[in-house]
Chain A
């Protein structure tokens, strides 16, 4: 329930994030019992790398404080769409925060926006869209895969977001969105987004709006751009963004890396001076990640202009 409203302490039913370290975070729902694979109801005990956590005991605990496991401790964090993106169960490839942020801003989303999304996938972007448009906006999200729709519908309900979103099974390329003159923004993450552009036109408000498509391949992007031009979209822009993360390191070099040499010193002895002193070999460095995501996809944005039949 805790996505919709920020609170101080955990209530039963909330989804919370247990933070052990940057590599070990878990999203868990606080409920006393869970069903085992065999179908039995048993006490909800969550196993972390540092031992067991009795989940029901989290009720009443304050967010941002420590929680005890049987062999260690971690932090209890309030869920956010970013933490959810890092911890959700992947049913598909998902979008990550740098792309998500750009999508939300470039689609001009704000409280009150009506948004169409297809496909829903694992709901990573959906959570960020809902955060931006609540409490007065609405997200219509479509996926052609029935099971994905069912799982995500339950997640929206568990997160207390059901009033801001409608998830439906639908093949957008074939059947469109069943919405007319409704949306401020349309987002397409489909293998063939160009097939859904004409449907997007129908769903977008006649008073104008924005569209975004996400495609990993430039060939897809090219076809999409042609379809956008053909359908009357303006201000078509394609962009990509990546995130470079830095490690902050205190580095002390070993003696062998100490090249104390100068042409201006007269003797070798002068050159050697200062060698062996640790201070001279210490510095703080920003080290970019040695491996990073080098490509996610191309984002194409365009404006649906106000139609001439619209009175102002």
Chain B
């Protein structure tokens, strides 16, 4: 079921060291597809038909093009390996920041690039022309080379998008573009909404680009139903598209316009006769999704900036003992929602939480938390619906 080849029309993540970018391959074959990786031009179409993995940026003889071609490669040589025979200093006592340690000027470096030198050749030049490199400490040299590798590394990873990568990628690009829904918070949402196969779930996505819906679709792999609830237009789907889902995996996804749903639910209530309501009759059809009615969802996720009114309405779609999670980048609206749910006895186990998350650098004798961390990953109000 899983496709592990880089194919036309599919999305891939291109990663050089810590830099990641998301690209869609050309719809049709035989087309050059130039993307920018840092300051380098790369022809992504040269990776078509090959398995995801590590590629080397290469210049081809016959091709005059400015862009690098991608060649599968398994032997990554880190720059620090290449330069490990160089001397190093004891401390930084003799290093003065006078801006003159690097002899190469910006134009010189540009020229080297223009000559088609590979990344490691350029870095070698930089090191050779640095007056201070050889008196830097070993640690400081490593740090310098790591920094240069971010720009000049000749190897890139072409990754098959998955939820872990995409959640990280979108959060690192511009967190507010997905309402600052941090990957660890997304993980909490998946647990607290009790997402599982063969369930019936509702998602109201008010601005996370389909991230939650995509995460659910990926988790259940075709088993169950996911109602994508929206008020107007079509729900956001950027992350869903980037996942390259196949039709089987997309089968659970149903879009429901809440205004239309309201009409049909009211109609059903008014009829209320001996006749079987239309919505229920659909159930007989094998392929049709189970109808969306009041009290029918096993789990509900609401993601938006102002959940107060909409969340309370959507909880009506949830079955008793069903789990709901309301995510908001701000705490104040959830504070109101909390009080409201409390007063109406709508739920038990009501919890307003925020996740705290940090990464660590783990190296022999150099272990410490990462210097930068995310200050907030958004707020979550979760609970279990009850009937009182």
Chain A interface (Cβ < 8 Å from any Cβ of B): 5-6, 8, 19, 22, 62-66, 75-78, 80-83, 97-98, 100-102, 104-106, 108-112, 128, 131-132, 134-136, 207, 218, 221-222, 225-226, 236-246, 248, 250, 284, 286, 298, 300, 305-306, 308, 312
Contact = CB atoms under 8 A, between A and B. Distances in A.
Interface stretch (B78-86, B261-269, B331-339): B331-339
Contacts of A236: 362
Q: Pick the 8 closest A-B CB pairs, nearest first.
A: A64-B320, A64-B321, A63-B321, A105-B187, A111-B221, A101-B187, A78-B321, A101-B191
Nearest to B358: A240
B183 A248 contact: no
Given A111-B220, A241-B356, A298-B360, 13 more contacts: A6-B198, A65-B320, A81-B191, A98-B355, A101-B188, A104-B187, A110-B220, A111-B197, A221-B367, A240-B357, A242-B355, A242-B356, A244-B354
Contacts of A312: 4-5, 51
12 contacts: A6-B298, A19-B384, A64-B322, A102-B184, A105-B187, A105-B215, A109-B219, A111-B197, A134-B196, A134-B197, A218-B362, A237-B359
Contacts of A83: 349
Contacts, number: 173
B353 A241 contact: no
Contacts of A80: 194, 323
Contacts of A105: 163-164, 167, 183-184, 186-187, 190, 215
B372 interface: no
B184 A101 contact: yes
B198 A5 contact: yes
B359 A238 contact: yes
A63 B320 contact: yes
A244 B357 contact: no
B53 interface: yes
A110 B356 contact: no
A105 B164 CA distance: 7
B36 interface: no
A19 B348 contact: yes
A77 B352 contact: no
A243 B349 contact: no
Interface of B: 4-5, 51, 53, 74, 162-164, 167, 183-184, 186-188, 190-192, 194, 196-199, 215, 218-223, 298, 319-323, 331, 335-336, 338-339, 342, 348-349, 351-364, 367, 384-388
A77 B197 CA distance: 20
Contacts of B198: 5-6, 135
Contact of A22 (B164, B199, B349): B349
Contact of A97 (B53, B167, B192, B360): B192
Contacts of B4: 207, 312
Contact of B164 (A82, A106, A225): A106
A242 B363 CA distance: 23
Nearest to B298: A6
A112 B221 contact: yes
A109 B221 CA distance: 11
Contact of B362 (A238, A241, A242): A238
A97 B188 contact: yes
Contacts of B183: 105
B26 to A, nearest CB: 21
Contacts of B194: 80-82, 131
A57 B375 CA distance: 49
B322 A104 contact: no
Contacts of A240: 357-358, 360
A135 to B, nearest CB: 5
B359 A222 contact: no
A95 to B, nearest CB: 12
Contacts of A242: 355-357
Contacts of A22: 348-349
Contact of A300 (B197, B348, B362): B362
Contacts of A63: 319-321
A286 B367 CA distance: 35
Nearest to A242: B356
Contacts of A106: 164, 187
A108 B167 CA distance: 12
Contacts of B167: 105
A257 B322 CA distance: 43
Contacts of B199: 6
A65 B385 CA distance: 9
Given A98-B188, A131-B196, A19 B349 contact: yes
Given A82-B194, A286-B331, A64 B387 contact: yes
B348 A75 contact: yes
Given A78-B321, A135-B197, A218-B367, A104 B190 contact: yes
A207 B4 CA distance: 10
A105 B348 CA distance: 26
A306 B198 CA distance: 31
B340 to A, nearest CB: 11
Contacts of A250: 339
B339 A248 contact: yes
B357 A104 contact: no
Contacts of B74: 308
A227 to B, nearest CB: 12
A134 B198 CA distance: 9
Contacts of B320: 62-65
A109 B298 CA distance: 20
Contact of A101 (B190, B335, B339, B387): B190
A246 B221 contact: no
Contact of B355 (A100, A136, A238, A243): A243
A75 B386 contact: yes
A64 B385 contact: yes
Contacts of A78: 321
B196 A132 contact: yes
Contacts of B319: 6, 8, 63-64
Contacts of B215: 105
B352 A286 contact: yes
A106 to B, nearest CB: 6
A241 B335 contact: no
A77 B218 contact: no
